[in-house]
Amino acid sequence: MTDHVIVTGGSGLLGASVVRLLLEEENVKPVVMDINRDPARLADVMDKIEYVQGDVSDPELLNSTFASFKPKTIYHIAAVLGDTCENKPHLAIKVNIDGFLSLLEAARDNGMAQVLFSSSGTTYGVDLEEGEMLTDKTVQRPASFYGVTKVFGENAGRYFKLKYGLDYRGIHYPAIAGPGLRDAGMVTYASAIIEKSVKGEPYTVPVSPDIRLSLAYVKDCARAIIQLGKAPVENIKTVNYFINGVQNPLPSSGEMVEMVKKRIPGAQIDFDVNEDWDRLLKSASHPVDDSSSIAEWGWKPQCDTYEKLIDAYIEDLKT
C-alpha cells in the first residue's frame, strides 16, 4: 500500500530536496502543493509524484487535497521568504500566518496524523548579546517580519498539538545553502559565492565580512525534517528544534569567501554592504545549541564544516 505525504512548497530549494529523499523510500508517494506553474527543480521526477498547483493558503484547496489523498504526514515548507516579507508584509500575513492556520485546521478536520513545519532561526534576534548562544530557553524576539510570521507558526503548531493532539513538530532552520540559485536575498550570499564562482561569474557580497551566519547544506536540512518526523512521539519533548549544519565556531562571511577562493581559483568576490540587510543579519548571527535535536531524535549533519559544504555544493552542481 502506498502512503501519500504532502510537501507544500515542494518546488523550492528545500522542498524539492525533501521530495527527492522521500522518493527513495518504499511505498511513499509525495504530493507536492505549490503555486509554481513550472516546477523546474522537479522536472525529471514529475511522473513519480502528484503535483497540485495552487495557492497553499487557500482553505478550499487544502481541504480538498487532504480529503483526496489522505496523507499521513504534511511537510509544510511553503512560505513568503525574508526580504519579500519586509517589502510585502500583508502578503506574508496571508501566506505565512493565515495560510498556516488554515493548514492546521484542515489537518485537524481531515484527521491528519502529523504536521512538520519549516521555521527559521530568525524567530530570534532582538535583545541578545553579541555572539550569544541561542538555546531552547532563549526568548523569541525577531528583528525581521519573516521571523514574526514564523514565531506565530511555531506557537500555533504547538497550540494545536496541546489542544487537539496533532503531532506537530518544527525546526528553526539556519540559513540554507544549495544549488539552483534563483533570488538575491539576504542570506543567499552563502550559496552565491560558491555558485557564481563555479560559473565564472563575479559576485558582490551584500553584507559585511564579519557576519557569522548559522548555516546548513540543503540536503542536511531535508534529511533533518524527515528524520524528525520518524522519531517516536514519546521522544518529542522540545517540539520546535534548533539544528546545526556547519558547526561552531561559525566562519565569518569573509572567511567563507577565502575558503571558496582556495577551492575555486580565479573566483571574483568582493563586498558592498547593504546596511538594512547587514543590520538584520547581525541580529540573527548567533551560534545555536542543537543538543535537544541530538538527544531526542539523533540529529547529525553530514556537511558539518563549510569546506564540506563547498565540496558537496560543487559536486551537486555537476549533476
Domain boundaries, the chain: 3-176+217-244+287-302, 177-212+247-286+311-318
pLDDT of residue 240: 98
Chain segment 108-125, per-residue pLDDT in tens: 999 988 999 999 999 998
Does residue 120 or residue 181 have the better pLDDT?
A: 120
**131: confidence class by pLDDT, cuts 50, 70, 90:** confident
Long-range Cβ contact pairs of 180-185 (< 8 A, separation 24 or more)? 180/13, 180/41, 182/13, 183/81, 183/83, 185/81, 185/82, 185/83
Q: Is 262 exposed, middle or buried (0-12, 13-18, 19+ CB in 10 A)?
A: exposed
pLDDT of residue 113: 82
**104: confidence class by pLDDT, cuts 50, 70, 90:** very high
Cα 214 to the chain's mean position, in Å?
Answer: 12
**189: confidence class by pLDDT, cuts 50, 70, 90:** very high
Question: Does the pLDDT of residue 177 top 80, yes or no?
Answer: yes
According to CATH, the topology of domain 3-176+217-244+287-302 is: Rossmann fold (3.40.50)
Question: Does the pLDDT of residue 283 top 90, yes or no?
Answer: no
CA angle 14, 223, 71 (to 5 degrees): 75
pLDDT of residue 184: 61
Secondary element (H or E) of residue 4: strand 3-8
Question: Does the pLDDT of residue 68 top 80, yes or no?
Answer: yes
Contact 71, 4 (CB under 8 A): yes
**239: confidence class by pLDDT, cuts 50, 70, 90:** very high
- Say how many C-beta atoms besides its own lie within 10 A of residue 162's C-beta: 11
Does residue 114 or residue 282 have the better pLDDT?
A: 114
What's the Cα-to-Cα distance from 25 to each of 20, 30, 131, 225, 300, rounded to whole Å?
9, 10, 40, 15, 20
Question: Does the pLDDT of residue 48 top 80, yes or no?
Answer: yes
Looking only at the bridges linking them, the beta strands covering 240-242 and 167-173 are parallel
pLDDT of residue 257: 97
Q: How far apart are CA 313 and CA 78, in angstroms?
A: 23
Contact 54, 99 (CB under 8 A): no
Secondary element (H or E) of residue 271: strand 269-271
Chain segment 20-30, per-residue pLDDT in tens: 999 999 999 99
**Across 126-135, average pLDDT:** 90
Q: Locate all alpha helices (DSSP H) within the chain, ordered by sequence.
A: 13-23, 59-69, 82-87, 89-92, 99-109, 145-164, 189-198, 218-230, 253-263, 275-284, 291-297, 306-318
Give me the chain's average pLDDT, please. Answer: 94
**Across 150-161, average pLDDT:** 98
Chain segment 87-97, per-residue pLDDT in tens: 999 999 999 99
pLDDT of residue 67: 96
